[in-house]
Structure 1
């Protein structure tokens, strides 16, 4: 008769070692991916044009906020986001969008606290 209890106890530590190694590898990869995301974001900021060239169309602004153009229009009508009008065109400065996002985050924090 062959005892399986001895084999099972010997196989657990190597399996645990592999699991630990895989977890560490995945955690390391996640850190690397996050670092790359941050670098890409920083590069995009550096490449972003300044002044009037940085103004966004309604579609671009709505896409950045991940809302519909109708919702963006409603926010502008309510005075929550201030558009810039240039020769009949309605444009949005990225800083205005970021300020709106920060304002919403503060409101949300106030509700939680």
Structure 2
């Protein structure tokens, strides 16, 4: 992502992947099932997930320096892309959001998707 940002290349699928990880870290699936978080930062992530939601949750997740370093959370383009993708995931199903993103990616002039 850092390379894409530095070069000015689009990276919507990577933003969606980060947002998907944020959603997974909430610990609950779309059907209400429990999602296990097996990560070195699971305690801190669970605390953030338990105390915050929406934009505040995303902001707090960006503060995980072990994951994002010091620079990415200060990058407006990065933060806005991940926030928008997270909002999309929260407002609809993961499958619907991913399908829409794939369709958009395949509609780009340089895309190599088979329709």
TM-score by length of 1: 0.24
TM-score by length of 2: 0.24
